[in-house]
Structure 1
């Protein structure tokens, strides 16, 4: 998507080359520890002591990679925006015109990425939704544009003709979205402490798809030849 690529090119920060040269596992350990700390406590109350303890590094090393807490925080804002665009939004097939099927792929992408990027969404929410801390106008604009892209991915090119004629489509959108997000969050909470690499997810996805069929039965027109 052209608008997504444009947003990805508009970063303000420069990654410390030493941090960039770390192995990916260590980078992600530091990033996830910092994201969680800021998401739970906000900028002012966030503790770099807790971040380094959770990440398993010395405090001096953290400030070797980032000059201070503010630089780390602003890096995380840009990082989170890029992750949402590349790993979530950028992987959704908008050629799918069935609303429930489109939400199905969104839910699966979000669930599969939650293990690797567990605090990105809550971190961004605290900044831009709750306006927890002041960020630059450029970052605010990037966030607003990202939200507009997200809205387009959810609703553009959806085939409304498959909905029952006696159903309010806008209300159906919300009910379907709430149902899928609720099940998805239930799974995320259930598997927080588990290693997904060693867990057979097939039964859970089969159950999820069964629920989607129930939603289609409720909100979609019956197919020809069915009672």
Structure 2
């Protein structure tokens, strides 16, 4: 990617993160990036395409900085702790990128909602890979079917994502630190799945 195109994209990420898709201004982007407005449209074609490119760039960066392949798979708790720490570090290192990812996932522009939903659904397949990797190393209790255990863990992840999405929608300026109670709840639920909730009698 050329220097000017890359500069436009990085400025656009900050603009969309700070103002949202609708209120974001290509005039401000051109001014901050030090390029003509015409050059923005030459490279990206439209504000919509600029936004989707900015989102895809942000997600790609997140996947590079937080490689799922390095996530511990010995048990759920360690995996959850690792993931939480990595996301927290990423949000501090790239606040605008993190904010745009959260924004576009939880509250996408209406005109792009269907496309972004499909995009994030595909990205979340890495979650499926993680669930399978963890379960492959777990000694399931006698009588517990692998398929049932898989569905329980997947439902836990889906529920956590739903909680996080609702929280971000209601608190669009939230930082990862402010989401810590959700992370703690997730880890507590993981512990219930891993160790059970019934006292032995």
Same topology, TM > 0.5: yes
Gaps of 5+ in 1: 1-14, 41-48, 132-142
Q: Structure 1's 17 and 214: CA in aligned 2 closer, same or farther, altered over 3 A?
A: closer
1:16 and 2:2 are equivalent in the alignment: yes
Any unmatched runs of 5+ in structure 2?
none
| Partner-residue secondary structure (3-state), 2:139 | helix
* Map 1:71-90 → 2, pairs under 5 A: 73=50, 75-76=53-54, 79-80=57-58, 82-88=60-66, 90=67
State whether structure 2 residue 12 is matched by structure 1 residue 30: yes
Distance 1:211 1:176 in 2: 8
Q: 5 Å matches for 1:1-227? A: 15-20=1-6, 22=7, 28-33=10-15, 37=21, 50-52=24-26, 55=29, 57=31, 61-65=36-40, 67-70=42-45, 73=50, 75-76=53-54, 79-80=57-58, 82-88=60-66, 90=67, 93-106=70-83, 109-110=86-87, 113=91, 115-117=95-97, 118-120=99-101, 122=105, 126-127=114-115, 130=118, 149-158=126-135, 159-161=137-139, 165-166=143-144, 168-189=148-169, 191-193=171-173, 196=175, 201=177, 205=180, 208-209=183-184, 211-217=186-192, 219-221=193-195
Deviates most, 59-68 or 151-160: 59-68
Asked if the contact 1:96–1:102 (Cα under 8 Å) also holds between the matched residues in 2, the reply is yes
- Deviation digits for residues 143-179 of structure 1, max 9, x if unmatched? 96x6655532342243332668557202211221123
Secondary structure at the residue paired with 2:72? coil
Q: CA deviation at 1:30?
A: 1.3
**TM-score of the two chains, using structure 2 as the length reference:** 0.56
- 1:51 CA displacement: 3.3
CA, structure 1 residues 161+54, in 2 after alignment: closer, same or farther (shift >3 Å)?
farther
Q: Which has the higher helix share?
A: 2
CA distance 1:116–1:185, shift in 2 (3 Å): same
Q: Distance in 1 between matches of 2:4 and 2:151?
A: 50
| Aligned residues: CA RMSD | 4.7
Q: Give the count of matched residue pairs.
A: 179
Deviation string 1:101-146 (CA, Å, 9 cap, x unpaired) is 4245435545653843233454797437558xxxxxxxxxxx96x6
Separation in 2 of the partners of 1:226 and 1:125? 48
State TM-score, norm by structure 1: 0.52
